[in-house]
A and B are shown apart, each in its own frame.
Chain A
Amino acid sequence: MTKRTMGDLSRRSVLKGSAYAALGTLATPALLRAQSSELVIGCAGSHTAWMEEIVIPHMKSTIGADILFEGTKSSVNLEKMSSNKDAPYLSVVQMDDPVMIQAVEADLLTPITADAVPNMTDLRPDAVHMDGMWCNYVQPWAGVAYNTEFAPDGVPSWTTLWSPEAKGQLIIPSLQNTEGMWTLFAAAMLGSGKPFSEAQYEIDAAFAKLEELKPNLLSVYTTMSQAFNLLEQGEITMLAGNFSSYALPRKNEGVPVDLAAPSEGIFAMPSGICLVKGGPNPELAQAYVNEMLGSDMQSAIADFASSVPANTTVTAGAIIPDGVPIYSPDWAFVAANRRDWIERFDKLMAI
């Protein structure tokens, strides 16, 4: 990696630059190529706070890595990986499980092994996927965020979203966002009347129920921070699909919001970490993943982001609300159908 010639570099950078210009949406931070101690990490935009505060200083002191992180949506991370497949510039990507499946299908990942990443062995068994293609490092839980001043009773049930009092008081995520799935699955349960394990395949029933939600919708977001801001301001009373790693830190800062766990069930946010196939600095990348899965980082992130740690040796972090089932969907089914769902959802929700 470090022996790459300048000519090679600049030609590649230029090509990359033009490819980005064609896409018109992606920035070109990669023009500054990683040096030996640099790692470019793709992660979720909502992770910005704890990546900056916890991860970057920790990585500098433990493994001597200079972290450059590009926080964006999982699907954008996937697009960055696939359009740079021949010359990856990201070493590690942290994104959602359904997108991980797509990345595996596109042959963009290299497996994490216990030899290179010893902390992997301490993880809960269900946190390691497809023979180590990716691991879950934290699991925030998702329910419905609400404004405690305008909805003092909270959100006892998912049916509250459909109530007449909620007219114009609700924003839900687009299906383009991973957390958008939760409204869809809640609608599937309510629409089909079946338990989650069966209801998650009842997509027609889900869309039929979602259509009934339209009068209550102020908007459908793809940028969560903006929607959350409206919730904080009381412009809306409920924000569906929101999760503990975002809502609870805000609550702890004294903002009048809280995260409700509706009685029908809550959902486990699938936060995965993976190694990019052929990415720069592979050894350092493995060290990074090992640190992320280690007890120090696990407890720090779980505390900061109010999430359930994946490392079984760690006891810190959020407690999953009592008496409410927590669901994890069939991500393979989601990955296979998501494109169709997005198109169907956009058409259904269009004004």
Chain B
Amino acid sequence: MRRLEHIGLLALPGLTFLAVIFALPLFMLLLKSFQIDGQFSLEEYRLFFTDEYNMSVLWRTLRVAALTTIVALLIAYPTAIAMSRANGIWLSIFLVAMVLPMSVGVVVKAFAWSIIFRTRGVLNDILMSLGIVDTPIRMLFTETALIIGAANVFLPFMVLPIYAVLRQMDTRLPEAAASLGATPVFRFFNVTLPLSLPGVVAGCAFVFSLAVSMYVIPSLIVGERQQTLSMLTARSFLYLRNEALGATISSILLIIAISVVLGSSWLANRLGARS
């Protein structure tokens, strides 16, 4: 037991770092959102939630985050399965392909996407040459482009947790299922999928938290006409110089993020408890 307590000390630098750099300013921020002229007040929240525009931004933020999570999951899951079965050079290629794009800045990526999504861009050229559409589709500055772009940036955060869980899964479980007469589809839905759910939950929590608070990606891909909560926060601090509003929006974002993290860890525990 004493050994364990000592090992706990190893977490101290990390905890201190987080406390000073993260928790303290955040706490100050929360305080600010509940204060008007030094008095405790919920007025800022009332104002925020009664403003139709703010509510539309909140709704868009949640919708974009949810759709980004779903798109990322749909792309990540098969990738994670392939990775969990890969070995040697192929596994290295997969991991590098996952990690390397993270070192490319979002700004660079956003410029790259605009090449793909432009009216005279690669994607429209392909669609038109295949005869799928007659005239170019507007894709830049659309929510679809934002979701595809965000899913692209956050993909590793979905793939890696699912991959980690699938990799640890006993490979004999699907074999046992096969020997019991289960078709590949039945095996997937009754063995692989349920056992990978903790990874799926973790990946979704990562991606949703990142997507709900993303700032650079939406400001580059959809611009100011489709604001998100983070853009509203930046605007409040930088342009409106309204710290109380900024603090309020940040706190709402924080509450969303905390709920996602707590909710998902509860879910992951529930799913994990059985295995």
Contacts and interface: CB of A to CB of B under 8 A. Distances in A.
Interface of A: 14, 17-19, 21-25, 73, 75-76, 79, 102, 168, 174, 176, 217-223, 226, 229-230, 233-235, 338-339, 342-343, 346-347, 349-351
B223 A14 contact: no
Contacts of A233: 114, 118, 120
Contacts of B257: none
A154 B48 CA distance: 44
Contact of B227 (A168, A218, A223, A346): A346
Given A226-B114, A350-B226, A21 B120 contact: no
A174 B138 CA distance: 21
Please provide the 8 A-B residue pairs with the shortest distance between their CB atoms, ordered closest to farther. Answer: A22-B25, A219-B223, A220-B224, A219-B141, A174-B224, A347-B53, A176-B239, A18-B25
B268 to A, nearest CB: 27
B25 A346 contact: no
A272 B140 CA distance: 35
Secondary structure at the B interface, as helix, strand, loop or mixed, is: helix
Given A168-B138, A235-B118, A351 B240 contact: no
B235 interface: yes
A221 B114 CA distance: 14
Interface string B247-260: 00010000000000
B114 A350 contact: no
A25 B56 contact: no
Contacts of A342: 235, 239-240
Interface stretch (B16-24, B38-46, B87-95, B167-175): B16-24
A70 to B, nearest CB: 14
B20 A18 contact: yes
B241 interface: yes
B24 A18 contact: yes
B114 A230 contact: yes
Contact of A351 (B21, B118, B226): B226
Contacts of B177: none
A350 B56 contact: yes
Interface in B11-53: 20-22, 24-26, 28-29, 53
A168 B135 CA distance: 14
Nearest to A169: B119
Interface in B91-146: 110-111, 114, 118-120, 138, 140-141
A342 B237 CA distance: 13
B220 interface: yes
Contacts of B56: 350
18 contacts: A14-B20, A21-B21, A21-B22, A73-B238, A79-B237, A102-B241, A220-B225, A221-B223, A221-B224, A226-B111, A226-B114, A230-B118, A233-B120, A235-B118, A338-B239, A339-B241, A346-B227, A350-B225
B114 A235 contact: yes
Contacts of B237: 23, 25, 79
Interface centre among A221, A234, A235 (most CB of B within 10 A): A235
A233 B119 CA distance: 10
Interface of B: 20-22, 24-26, 28-29, 53, 56, 110-111, 114, 118-120, 138, 140-141, 215, 219-220, 222-227, 233-235, 237-242, 250
Interface centre among B120, B141, B227, B239 (most CB of A within 10 A): B239
Given A176-B235, A233-B118, A342-B235, A223 B220 contact: yes
B140 to A, nearest CB: 7
Contacts of A23: 237
B26 A22 contact: yes
A341 to B, nearest CB: 10
Contacts of A73: 238
Interface centre among A79, A176, A346 (most CB of B within 10 A): A346
B110 A226 contact: yes
A343 B227 CA distance: 12
A192 to B, nearest CB: 25
Contacts of B241: 79, 102, 339
Contacts of A19: 25
A181 to B, nearest CB: 13
B275 to A, nearest CB: 38
Contacts of B138: 168, 218
Given A17-B21, A79-B238, A218-B141, A223 B219 contact: yes
Given A22-B25, A346-B224, A219 B239 contact: no
Contacts of A338: 239
A230 B145 CA distance: 15
Contacts of B24: 18
Contacts of A230: 114, 118, 140
Nearest to A214: B225
A220 B120 CA distance: 20
B25 A222 contact: no
A234 B24 CA distance: 48
B234 to A, nearest CB: 6
Contact of B238 (A25, A223, A235, A347): A25
Contacts of B118: 230, 233, 235
A349 B225 contact: yes
A346 B26 contact: no
A25 B215 contact: yes
A7 to B, nearest CB: 16
A350 B227 CA distance: 8
Contacts of A24: 215, 233, 250
Given A339-B240, A350-B53, A235 B119 contact: yes
A292 B226 CA distance: 40
Contacts of B220: 223, 226
